[in-house]
Structure 1
Amino acid sequence: MRYHQLLRQRYRAIFGYTGLVCFISGLTILAPLLALIFYPEELSLAWGLLLPGLGMALVGLLLWKELAPKKSVSLTLPEGAVIVVLSWIVAISIGTIPFITIQDLTFTQAIFESTSGWTTTGLSVVDVTQASHLILLFRSTIELAGGAGLAIITLSALAGPSGSGLSSAEGRSDQLAPNVRRSGKLVLSLYSGYVAIGIVALRVAGMGWFDAVNHSFAALSTGGFSTRTDSIGYWDSPAVEAVTIVLMLFGTLSFVTGYLLLTGKFKAVIRNGEIRLQALMIPLCALLLLLGVTTGLYPTLEKAIRVAIFETVTALSTTGFSTVGYGDWNSFGWLVMIPLMLIGGGSGSTAGGIKQHRIYVLYRALIWEVRRMLLPKSAVTEPDAWQGEQRQFLSDAKIRQIALFVFLYLLVFGIGSSITAAYGYPLKDSLFEYASTLGTVGLSIGVTAADAPTGLLWVQSIGMFLGRLEFFTVFVGILQMVRDVPVPVR
């Protein structure tokens, strides 16, 4: 009896904090309505955002005020996972309503588009040439919120230690400050600053204000939704591409690394394993694409170089913008792009994928294992890796956990690619598309479309959800809820 009473108290807190996330998500859905100042002719469409946004915000506010504990409580990682999973499911579900009511998508298409937006994937079944300004801005806005992380947004509103379980559950355990709430506010300040500078820079580079706002939102969130069918290729502008590359790189940096960079702590940035990995992979892969693909496809060397660099950065950062199509690329080009999409961006960033820190840790562990074989048996060694200003010694348990995650990630990638191929798509198309799906990248070679099979869209939606929240969070959250379901006494 005492256990059930304690469980009831814990779930009051869980539903209360979930309500806070839902309240903020509701405000996110309402935010695009500000565009009516500039596009009053779309006023008749406003109810498609107003009703779900206002309803979600009011219900969330009520849950927060009525159920959240008056004094902040510490959340365990499983409890944080429950909140994160519940919040994302609710946000994605309510986010379908504008796509159904305004854009006239089917339920499956709306679920897919909403999942793609909140998870910052950028794969789309919306015809942007027929979409209203409200829908286009709505897509970019939910990417912006999803990139910051609903948990991170919530941290800025929570006091005390309660937020630590949330940030850990979203895979963002690195803090900019010792206090979780202050750390959340610093993240949002950095994020907002990036976005504002990005809007101005894209406008100066040649975009109109509406395009600049949408593409800055999508670039910093590494989301990739574009207002144009040809994405960044629509402008065919070196200036626009250069600004977008910088924004994508800032999006793929962990917020800790970005903070160190802006505060002038360059030594800590340079010895960061993720930065070293990026410094190796981007030039190397761009050179491979240049020599193996783009030189023979595009009319000038300048265009070939631009394409090689841009497509490398957009794949590794998991943003999903593109300047060209991939239909005329050879298999070597796809072979370079798929691992980039699987590896993904920095840990604690807006990017998806396995994450560069995990790849770097496995590399360090491999080097350490080889060296240990050559040392005397009595020698005591331990691998290490720098992350931010901290030098982390890598225990066997840590390495094993990362190895299991990578194995699980590749297993899901294999299953998803196999299901895609089972629908009749070529194997290389299936591998490319599901790497983009699971890595929350958004690059497509035509598999994702409004007329794609319903089952395939659901498989992709599940892949985007798992890829964004990271498998262990989803599994832990669901298992915790199942375990906590009261069993009737016979």
Structure 2
Amino acid sequence: MFQNLLKQRYRLVFGYLGNLFVFFPIVLLIPLLYCIGNPGVFVESLAFITTAVLSFAMGLMLKLTMRVRPGSPITVQEGAIVVLFSWVIAILLSALPFIIGGHLNFTQAVFESTSGWTTTGLTLVDVKTLPETFLLWRSIMQYLGGAGIAIIMMSAILGPAGLGLYKAEGRMDNLVPNIKSSTRTIAVIYGSYALAGVIMYRLAGMSFFDAVNHSLTALATGGFSTRTGSIGEFNSISIEIITIVLMLLGATGFGIHYTLWKKNFRAFWNNGEPKLMFIILALFTPLLMTGTLAVFYSSGAEQFRHSLFQAVSALTGTGFSTVDFVPWNHYGIYLIVLLMIFGGDLDSTSGGLKQYRLFALIKILWLEIRRYFLPKDAILKQEIWKGETRRYIDNSLVKEILLVFSLYFLTYAVGTGVLMSYGHSMAFSAFEYASALSTVGLSVGITVPGAPTGIIWTETIGMFLGRLEFLVVIYAITKLLRDGKILFRRRRNA
């Protein structure tokens, strides 16, 4: 009985994976749009066609074999498995064009693909020699990765089935009661901002190709650039301002955007994440100005310009830069490390610990201070808002914060230790791994094409865990092991 039920549930899991990867070729073929205006680069795009055929064949085989009824509900636990497999398979498929095109080996290609989908921005390619179709592909991965595989899954899954996937990917911003409508709303908001970004970049003097790529990656807080010197190579204040705005938009939770779109200003004001972000930037920008950038720039305006840009890029988890971090003193390096660890809003495209958890932690501390001065039997409730939803701080939220923080810093310590074992300084190792684990993309030169395989895979795992925030991966692996163990025992006893 149990064995049949288990088979039925996993048939559902792999059936939905089949649904996804039947549609995934649409994503893989987007770079071919560039060939319409540039037919000479079509040969370079054959790698995407080959990969799309493989994806479709795999998806169709699963779809026909498993025969899942459209709209079949899926639990959060099974959703975690679908999300984990979706991300792993999507990353591997997205790496294939780099391998087939002869641009990267397997390890490098998986790293680049992971960096793209997790919106990290660390790179192992030379953007000067990489064909423009591949540069566009990197930007597309980051843009779609910012929304999350769960959003893409909505094109393949209808009805209540999407709820398990949506929640499994760690999202809280159910904007409207219907999950499909929520994802559609997110897509509209996300797409509108991207289009506005392209227009503003063009007005600021960027070429159309550069404008598209940078708008997609800035909004996704990804940081892939078409230029070796990132945003700094343009040396334009107007471009930097546009980028700052896009980075902040990307780092703001979709639920908070929704309050503004609905003109629900009261709900927007009740959300503490945007306020906390601006307070952090207001504190760290002058610290960077006086402690580090005053050494490189005599002008106060230049100090402020570069301090603000680097602070926003680090806090939002974008990874664009206008300076070289290698000559920086340790004071500035560690300030950037802290900003990368803090991260952007929950349910946004950025990584890190997230502002929602930091804000909740501050509220918890304040609640305990108040409780200390009140009678023991006093009942205190501390509310915290997420989008239009109000909740009260309870034990479940405290446990979640403790668990995520513990897993983050444990992984961070191990990853930093691995980088140090290869001879890098503690400051640089802490910087580089914070950039990988918080999916930022800023670098001090450790992540290069010739980097040891151990470093590349350590950062790859860090990016993956950081994007899925540990819990989804742990839940999925635990369920797989648990179901496998139970099935093995029943077969052995049969």
TM-score w.r.t. length of structure 2: 0.96
Once residues 69 and 101 of structure 1 are traced to their aligned partners in structure 2, the CA distance between those partners, rounded to angstroms, is: 33
CA contact (8 A) 2:142 2:217 kept: yes
Once residues 183 and 108 of structure 2 are traced to their aligned partners in structure 1, the CA distance between those partners, rounded to angstroms, is: 33
Letter in 2 for 1:234: E
CA contact (8 A) 2:91 2:110 kept: yes
Once residues 284 and 95 of structure 1 are traced to their aligned partners in structure 2, the CA distance between those partners, rounded to angstroms, is: 40
Once residues 368 and 22 of structure 2 are traced to their aligned partners in structure 1, the CA distance between those partners, rounded to angstroms, is: 49
After superposition, residues 3-18 of structure 1 pair within 5 angstroms as 3-18=2-17
Deviations 1:255-283 (A, max 9, x none): 11112123322222122111121121112
> Is 1:295 the counterpart of 2:298 in the alignment?
no
Cα separation, partners in 2 of 1:204 and 1:418, compared to 1, 3 Å: same
What residue in structure 1 maps to residue 444 of structure 2? 445
What residue in structure 1 maps to residue 328 of structure 2? 329
1:70 counterpart SS class: coil
Bigger shift: 16-25 or 109-118? 16-25
CA contact (8 A) 1:157 1:181 kept: no
Letter in 1 for 2:97: P
Letter in 1 for 2:346: S
CA contact (8 A) 2:24 2:56 kept: yes
What residue in structure 2 maps to residue 143 of structure 1? 142
What residue in structure 1 maps to residue 307 of structure 2? 308
CA contact (8 A) 2:120 2:440 kept: yes
Once residues 18 and 378 of structure 2 are traced to their aligned partners in structure 1, the CA distance between those partners, rounded to angstroms, is: 53
Bigger shift: 453-462 or 44-53? 44-53
1:489 counterpart SS class: helix
Once residues 64 and 190 of structure 2 are traced to their aligned partners in structure 1, the CA distance between those partners, rounded to angstroms, is: 28
What residue in structure 2 maps to residue 473 of structure 1? 472
CA contact (8 A) 2:112 2:122 kept: yes
Cα separation, partners in 2 of 1:108 and 1:311, compared to 1, 3 Å: same
Cα distance, 1:367 vs structure 2 = 1.0
Once residues 75 and 130 of structure 1 are traced to their aligned partners in structure 2, the CA distance between those partners, rounded to angstroms, is: 45
> Is 1:457 the counterpart of 2:460 in the alignment?
no
2:363 counterpart SS class: helix
What residue in structure 1 maps to residue 346 of structure 2? 347
What residue in structure 2 maps to residue 394 of structure 1? 393
Cα separation, partners in 2 of 1:24 and 1:216, compared to 1, 3 Å: farther
CA contact (8 A) 2:173 2:386 kept: no
What residue in structure 2 maps to residue 22 of structure 1? 21
Cα distance, 1:61 vs structure 2 = 4.3
What residue in structure 1 maps to residue 242 of structure 2? 243
2:184 counterpart SS class: helix
Once residues 235 and 290 of structure 1 are traced to their aligned partners in structure 2, the CA distance between those partners, rounded to angstroms, is: 22
After superposition, residues 124-203 of structure 1 pair within 5 angstroms as 124-203=123-202
What residue in structure 2 maps to residue 123 of structure 1? 122
Cα separation, partners in 2 of 1:110 and 1:395, compared to 1, 3 Å: same
Cα distance, 1:221 vs structure 2 = 1.0
Cα separation, partners in 2 of 1:350 and 1:65, compared to 1, 3 Å: farther
Cα distance, 1:354 vs structure 2 = 1.1
Once residues 233 and 89 of structure 1 are traced to their aligned partners in structure 2, the CA distance between those partners, rounded to angstroms, is: 33
Cα distance, 1:392 vs structure 2 = 1.1
Cα distance, 1:73 vs structure 2 = 2.6
Cα distance, 1:302 vs structure 2 = 2.2
Deviations 1:353-386 (A, max 9, x none): 1111011111111111121111111111132212
Bigger shift: 288-297 or 343-352? 288-297
Deviations 1:51-87 (A, max 9, x none): 0123213432453465353242322221010000001
What residue in structure 2 maps to residue 261 of structure 1? 260
Once residues 238 and 61 of structure 1 are traced to their aligned partners in structure 2, the CA distance between those partners, rounded to angstroms, is: 49
What residue in structure 1 maps to residue 492 of structure 2? 489
CA contact (8 A) 2:31 2:45 kept: no
After superposition, residues 376-387 of structure 1 pair within 5 angstroms as 376-387=375-386
Bigger shift: 142-151 or 226-235? 142-151
Cα distance, 1:239 vs structure 2 = 0.6
Letter in 2 for 1:175: N
Once residues 465 and 93 of structure 1 are traced to their aligned partners in structure 2, the CA distance between those partners, rounded to angstroms, is: 13
2:160 counterpart SS class: helix
Deviations 1:373-405 (A, max 9, x none): 111111111322121122210112321221121
Once residues 364 and 403 of structure 1 are traced to their aligned partners in structure 2, the CA distance between those partners, rounded to angstroms, is: 14
**Gapped regions of structure 1 (runs ≥ 5):** none
Cα separation, partners in 2 of 1:61 and 1:349, compared to 1, 3 Å: farther
Once residues 22 and 342 of structure 1 are traced to their aligned partners in structure 2, the CA distance between those partners, rounded to angstroms, is: 33
Cα separation, partners in 2 of 1:309 and 1:398, compared to 1, 3 Å: same
CA contact (8 A) 1:48 1:97 kept: yes
Once residues 374 and 124 of structure 1 are traced to their aligned partners in structure 2, the CA distance between those partners, rounded to angstroms, is: 52
What residue in structure 2 maps to residue 70 of structure 1? 69
After superposition, residues 420-439 of structure 1 pair within 5 angstroms as 420-439=419-438
Cα separation, partners in 2 of 1:246 and 1:65, compared to 1, 3 Å: farther
Cα separation, partners in 2 of 1:22 and 1:434, compared to 1, 3 Å: same
Cα distance, 1:454 vs structure 2 = 0.5
> Is 1:47 the counterpart of 2:50 in the alignment?
no
Letter in 1 for 2:136: L
Once residues 192 and 366 of structure 2 are traced to their aligned partners in structure 1, the CA distance between those partners, rounded to angstroms, is: 39
Deviations 1:304-338 (A, max 9, x none): 11111111111111010111111122211112111
Once residues 444 and 307 of structure 1 are traced to their aligned partners in structure 2, the CA distance between those partners, rounded to angstroms, is: 16
1:391 counterpart SS class: strand
Cα distance, 1:159 vs structure 2 = 2.5
Cα distance, 1:235 vs structure 2 = 0.5
Cα separation, partners in 2 of 1:334 and 1:69, compared to 1, 3 Å: same
Letter in 2 for 1:213: V
Letter in 2 for 1:325: D
Once residues 250 and 50 of structure 2 are traced to their aligned partners in structure 1, the CA distance between those partners, rounded to angstroms, is: 32
Deviations 1:61-118 (A, max 9, x none): 4534653532423222210100000011101111111111224311111111111111
Cα distance, 1:162 vs structure 2 = 1.1
Cα separation, partners in 2 of 1:71 and 1:366, compared to 1, 3 Å: same
2:359 counterpart SS class: helix
How well do the aligned residues superpose, as a CA RMSD in angstroms? 1.4
Bigger shift: 416-425 or 167-176? 167-176
CA contact (8 A) 1:144 1:217 kept: yes
Cα distance, 1:157 vs structure 2 = 4.4
Once residues 54 and 244 of structure 1 are traced to their aligned partners in structure 2, the CA distance between those partners, rounded to angstroms, is: 36
> Is 1:207 the counterpart of 2:206 in the alignment?
yes
Letter in 1 for 2:492: V
CA contact (8 A) 2:23 2:156 kept: no
Once residues 17 and 352 of structure 1 are traced to their aligned partners in structure 2, the CA distance between those partners, rounded to angstroms, is: 27
Once residues 352 and 219 of structure 2 are traced to their aligned partners in structure 1, the CA distance between those partners, rounded to angstroms, is: 16
Letter in 2 for 1:268: A
Cα distance, 1:438 vs structure 2 = 0.1
TM-score w.r.t. length of structure 1: 0.97
CA contact (8 A) 1:156 1:184 kept: no
How many residue pairs match? The answer is 489
What residue in structure 2 maps to residue 105 of structure 1? 104
